[in-house]
Structure 1
Amino acid sequence: MNELHNGTWVLVADSEKALFLENVADAQNPHLVVIREEEQENPSDRSQSANRPGRMQDTGVQQRSALDDTDWHELAKERFAAELSEILYKKAHRGEFDRIIIACPPQLLGELRRDLHKEVSSRVVGEVHKLLTNHPLDKMEAILKEELEAA
C-alpha cells in the first residue's frame, strides 16, 4: 500500500545530508518539493583527530597497549541524527506535518528511531531502507513509490 498521499512529508537522509520533502501531488504520481535542506560537514576521522592514539603500560614486563582514539567521524554522524530528530519534533509540535515517510540507510534509520519523540514516531507512515540522497528528485519519487507499493 502506497502511503505517499498528497501532503505527506518525506525525510531523505544520509549521515551528512538531509532533505525534507513534501508530496504536492497524489500517491500514484508523486511530485516532491524541497521544504528544507540540512547538511553537515563531516570530514574523515583522520582529519578530525588531533594526535595519534595513546599507549599505556600493561602488567607484563615492558609491555604496552594502544588505546582506542575517539571516532570523531562516527560521533558527528550520531549528532546529525539527533539534530534531525529535534528538527522533526519542532515541526511536528507546530503541526507542520501529519504524515511522514523516512528514507535513509538502515544504520541511520536505527539512530533516528532511537531519537525520535513519540509525537514524531506516531506520524511515521512508512520507511524506506535505502540511500537516496544522491538521486535527483524524479528518481527519488520513482524509488519511493516502488518501495512503498512493495511493502
Structure 2
Amino acid sequence: MQSIPSGAWVVVADGGGARMLQNVGEAKAIKLIQQRLIEPQNLDGEGPSGSQPKEVDVEEATFAKQLANRLNDGALKNDYRHLVLIADPQTLGQVRPLLHKETLERLIGEMAKTLTNASIADIERVLH
C-alpha cells in the first residue's frame, strides 16, 4: 500500500458498523485518531431487491449501501482527499461496486481484513 498522507480518511468496516479514522501524522509516520463511529441507520426498506436472503445478510448489505453513500457524499463535498478502506472481504465486495467515480479517485488503498474491533495501534501497525 502506498503511503497514507496526513488528513487521509481510514475507514475500517464490517457488516455491522464502521470506524472513521483520520491520519493526523505524516505519510511515513501514521498516527490515527478516531473521528466517528458509523452504525447502521433504519435498515427497513433499504436493502437489496430480489429474492429474500437471510435477515442478517440483508442488514449487512443495507449497511454496505449506507456506508458507500456516506463515502460518496464525503467525496462529492470534498470532505476528504484520500481514502483507505479496510473491510472484511464480504463488506468490501458489497461496498466497492457502489462507490462513485469521485470516491474511487480518492481511494489510495484497500484491504480485505476484519479490523473493526482492533485497537488503533493495531490498525496503524497493519498500515505500516
Distance (whole Å) between structure 2 residues aligned to residue 69 and residue 34 of structure 1: 35
Identity in percent: 32
Q: Where do residues 55-134 of structure 1 align in structure 2 (5 Å cutoff)?
A: 70-134=53-117
Q: Deviations over 1:40-69 (max 9, x none)?
A: 39xxxxxxxxxxxxxxxxxxxxxxxxxx97
Structure 2 unpaired stretches of 5+: 42-50
What's the TM-score once normalised by structure 1's chain length? 0.73
Alpha-carbon distance, 1:70 to partner: 4.0
Q: Deviations over 1:57-93 (max 9, x none)?
A: xxxxxxxxxxx97411101100000000111111111
Rate the CA distance shift 1:137–1:76 in 2: closer, same or farther, 3 A.
Answer: same
Alpha-carbon distance, 1:141 to partner: 0.6
Alignment coverage as a number of residue pairs: 119
**Is contact 1:2-1:27 (8 Å) kept?**
no
Structure 1 unpaired stretches of 5+: 42-67, 146-151
**Is contact 2:14-2:116 (8 Å) kept?**
yes
Q: Where do residues 40-51 of structure 1 align in structure 2 (5 Å cutoff)?
A: 40=40
**Is contact 2:40-2:66 (8 Å) kept?**
no
Distance (whole Å) between structure 1 residues aligned to residue 15 and residue 90 of structure 2: 9
What does residue 13 of structure 1 align with? 13
Distance (whole Å) between structure 1 residues aligned to residue 36 and residue 75 of structure 2: 14
Alpha-carbon distance, 1:110 to partner: 1.1
Alpha-carbon distance, 1:116 to partner: 0.8
**Is contact 2:2-2:108 (8 Å) kept?**
no
RMSD: 1.7
